[in-house]
Structure 1
């Protein structure tokens, strides 16, 4: 069970992903969390404190999600890796759409907040380590570089699916081409 501050930060992530950064206020977070007015401001005195804490919470949640995924999936072939990535993309643009939109909002905010950028950077490093393990398993000559390129491409693919889903084409085929193109063997 999340603590009260975690409930509020999870609500802040939902507000960001469903309404945008301009609507991210203490009042909106209280309403989303279903808590009395003033709850968020009791824990996060300023909007900046709320946004900075939300970025940290988001990074923690993203690391936990990828850790769980890496524990459940171990692709052994390029096709299996492409299928796992396709499932991830579908979830990101479907059931987890609000969280995905919040993710891009968090990236923009972290770019403007150097003190929060470290959290996102460390989260990305951990995720890339897990991804490099997958690419090592499927035979990448340089798994770290292949992972960086592949995850950057997947981020772009997700963004395109969010912005204009009718123009994205065959997801599995595109991901398989990306995986094969990044193996470098």
Structure 2
């Protein structure tokens, strides 16, 4: 169920995606969310609280789009290639704003330890889920392989946002990476 705070944060996330972090102001969120002036400041009184709220919402939306915990992903090389590949395609398509906001917020987290800590909590939840899948899919080095795969997918999305490849086969690319890592079928 959506609430007023979620609507504000989603509007803020869209602003970060469209304008960068500099475009995230209380007034801009009010306008984008279609709420009375001062509503965002009432919910998030400081710029820091607004940025942290948008960061938390971005993490939530990213976990949703990643088919995170509880999702039905086949624990096999092909199942993981499909899951990671479809994540890439969602990040470039229907969830493009989340991906764009994520990169802007990540750059800010490099400068602000408080945001880094928020991302660390979200990453722990996703990593626990994904590590189990990678292990069951046949990786002999699951921690290493998950790191390689996550970094590859992150880089692929980042690159494709700026320089799209016509007819991108994201699933095939992830499958090629898994094969290069030398997984065995359990």
The two structures have a TM-score, normalised by structure 2, of 0.88
Which residue of 2 is the match for residue 10 of structure 1?
Answer: 10
**Residues 1:137 and 1:3: Cα distance change in structure 2 (over 3 Å):** same
Which residue of 1 is the match for residue 21 of structure 2?
Answer: 21
Which residue of 2 is the match for residue 84 of structure 1?
Answer: 83
Taking the aligned partners of 1:113 and 1:76, their CA distance within structure 2 comes to 36
Which residue of 2 is the match for residue 38 of structure 1?
Answer: 38
Establish whether residue 130 from structure 1 lines up as the match of residue 129 from structure 2.
Answer: yes
Deviates more, 1:85-94 or 1:173-182: 173-182
Establish whether residue 107 from structure 1 lines up as the match of residue 92 from structure 2.
Answer: no
**Residues 1:61 and 1:90: Cα distance change in structure 2 (over 3 Å):** closer
Checking the alignment, whether the CA contact within 8 Å between 2:62 and 2:98 is kept in structure 1 is: no
Taking the aligned partners of 1:159 and 1:181, their CA distance within structure 2 comes to 22
Give how far 1:71 is off.
2.2
Query: How many correspondences in the alignment?
Result: 184
Which residue of 2 is the match for residue 74 of structure 1?
Answer: 73
Which residue of 2 is the match for residue 179 of structure 1?
Answer: 178
Determine helix, strand or coil for the equivalent of 1:71: coil
Determine helix, strand or coil for the equivalent of 2:73: coil
Checking the alignment, whether the CA contact within 8 Å between 2:86 and 2:170 is kept in structure 1 is: no
Establish whether residue 143 from structure 1 lines up as the match of residue 139 from structure 2.
Answer: no
Checking the alignment, whether the CA contact within 8 Å between 2:65 and 2:87 is kept in structure 1 is: no
Aligned-pair RMSD on alpha carbons? 2.0
Checking the alignment, whether the CA contact within 8 Å between 2:13 and 2:98 is kept in structure 1 is: yes
The two structures have a TM-score, normalised by structure 1, of 0.88
Give ranges in structure 1 of 5+ residues lacking alignment: none
Q: Which has the higher helix share?
A: 1
Deviates more, 1:53-62 or 1:142-151: 53-62
Runs of 4 or more, structure 1, over 6 Å off, are none
Give how far 1:55 is off.
1.6
Give ranges in structure 2 of 5+ residues lacking alignment: none
Give how far 1:167 is off.
7.1
